[in-house]
Amino acid sequence: MIYIVKWIFVTPTPIPRYITTQVERGNIEKTVLADGKISAFKLVNVGAQVSGQIKKLYVKLGEEVKMGDMIAEIDDLKQKNDLKQSEASLASLEAQRKAKEANLKNYQLTYNRQLKLVKKGVGIQSELDAAEAQLDSIKADIASLDADIIRAKIAVDTAAVNLGYTKIRSPIDGVIVAIPIEEGQTVNSVQSAPTIVKVAQLDKMTVEAQISEADVINVTTGMPVYFTILGLPNERFSGLTLRAVEPAPTSINNETTTSSSSTSSAIYYNGLFDVENPERVLRISMSAQVYIILGQAENVLSIPTNALQRKLAGNKAMVFVLDNDQKLSEREIQIGLDDNVNVEVKTGLKEGDTIVVSTFDGSMIGSQKIPRARF
C-alpha cells in the first residue's frame, strides 16, 4: 500500500518591518522663525538749518567723530550781516529810549510845577492838563520802545543762533556712514532740511525681526532670541532678549485713515532687540535669520513627533514600543514641549526604549499578526 502525503502550503503573510527610533536624551527648543534686518542702534541725520554754500567739509566717510566735533561749515556772510543789522536796530531803539527818558524828566518837572501853581490858586488848569497829556504821551512812547527793544533783542538772538548754525557739529559720538552732499554745494533749508552727513553708533546694533501675524500672538517682550547672518551661518548670536513688539505693522505708515480697501499681502510686525557689536562685525542693512524662543527643555527624554500614534487628553499620547523579542505593545505616555520635530517625554518611557515610527509598506502598526504555516 502506498501512502501519499499531501502537503498543503499556505502562502504566509509577510512579517511587517518597522521603522524604529530610540528614546534619547537631549534639548528641545520651540521657536518662531523670522526674517530680520540689522540697523544702527542710533542713526542721526545731521542737517543744515540755514541756507548757503557748503564752504568746508571736515569729515570723511567711515571717520569716527565725537560729540561736538566740526563736521561742515556753511558760508556765513549773510548770517553775519543779519546779526550786524539786528544789533544796529537794537542800538537805535535803545538810543531812542534814552532820548525819551530825558524828555520824560522835563515833562515830569513841568507837570509838577503846574500842579503846585494850580494848588496855590495862581496856575491855569489848561496848562496843567497840557503838561499831563505830554507826560502821558512820553510814557506811552517809552512803553512802545520797550516792546520794540524786546523784539530787537529776539532778532539779535535769532541772528546769532543762525550764525552758529553755519558751523555744523556732530550731535553724538559715532561713525560717518553717509555724506550725501559735496563741498561747494548750495543747500536750501527753506523747502526742507538738507542732510549734510549721517552719523551712526555702531558699537550696538538693533535687529528688526518681521514676525508674521500667525506667530505674533505667541510672542511677547522679554522672550529670549538669537540670530545668524549670511556671512557667518554657523555662528549664533545668542543671549539676547526681545525688547519690544511694535503694535502695528510698518505698512500703517503708508495707509490713510479713510482708506477702506483691503490687501491680500502678508502682514508682519517688527520685533526689536539689541546686540552689542564691539568688533563692528554687524553692519547696517545686513540680513538676519531670527529665532524667537517660545519654550526650552534641556536634557530631557525625547522622541520624534511623528512617532506619536494618537494624542489623548491631558497632554497624553499613545506610542508603540518594540521590546527585545520583537513584540509590539501599545503604551500611554505623558508629553511636554513639542517643536514639531521632537517632543518631550515626561513619563511612560525610559532612555533607550525602541519606539515604532511607522511600517515600511505604510500599513497600520499592529494590524498584522505573526503568520503561521498550515500543513
Domain ranges of the chain: 1-23+308-368, 31-41+199-252+266-295, 45-70+174-198, 78-165
- C-alpha cell belonging to residue 110: 513841568
Instruction: Give the full edge-to-edge strand order of the sheet including 70-74.
Output: 167-169, 70-74, 52-57, 186-187
Fold of 1-23+308-368: 2.40.420
Distance between CA atoms of 225 and 216, rounded to whole angstroms? Answer: 14
Residue 42 corresponds to which cell in the numbers above? 542710533
Q: Provide the CATH topology of domain 31-41+199-252+266-295.
A: Elongation Factor Tu (Ef-tu); domain 3 (2.40.30)
Q: How far apart are CA 44 and CA 31, in angstroms?
A: 34
Q: Which residues of the chain have pLDDT under 70?
A: 1-16, 191, 254-264, 360-375
- Please indicate whether the domains covering 31-41+199-252+266-295 and 45-70+174-198 agree at the CATH topology level: no
| Angstrom distances, CA of residue 284 to CA of 45, 154, 192, 274 | 15, 43, 25, 13
Question: 37 is written with which cell numbers?
Answer: 534686518
Residue 332 pLDDT = 92
Q: Taking Cα atoms as reference points, which of 292, 164, 153, 274 lies closest to residue 220?
A: 292
pLDDT of 266 reads: 83
Nine cell digits for residue 146: 520797550
Name, in order, each residue with C-beta under 8 angstroms of 115's C-beta and a sequence gap of 6 or more.
123, 128
Which grid cell is 156?
539779535
- Among left, alpha and beta (phi > 0; psi -120 to 50; other), residue 222 is left
Please identify which residue in the block is written with the cell numbers 492838563. 129
Output the pLDDT for position 118.
80
- Cell numbers describing residue 160: 546769532
Q: From residue 268, give the alpha-carbon distance in Å to each of 16, 89, 129, 209, 248.
A: 48, 59, 81, 9, 9
- Considering only CA atoms, which of 218, 214, 216, 234 is closest in space to residue 226? 234
Report residue 326 as a C-alpha cell. Answer: 520583537
Q: Which of 159, 174, 168, 160 is nearest to 54 (CA)?
A: 168
Cβ neighbours for 36, distance < 8 A, ≥ 6 positions apart:
207, 208, 209, 210, 227, 287, 288, 289, 290
Q: Quick one: angle between helices 77-120 and 125-165, nearest 10?
A: 160
The predicted structure's pLDDT at residue 192: 72
Q: Where are the alpha helices (DSSP H) in the chain?
A: 77-120, 125-165
Residue 375 has what pLDDT? 30
pTM: 0.69
pLDDT at 260: 45
**Share of the chain residues as helix, strand and coil, in percent rounded to the nearest 5:** 25, 40, 35
In CATH, what is the architecture of 45-70+174-198?
Beta Barrel (2.40)
By DSSP bridging, strand 268-276 and strand 24-47 are unpaired
| Rounded-to-integer distance, Cα 30 and Cα 316, Å | 19
Cell of 340: 514639531
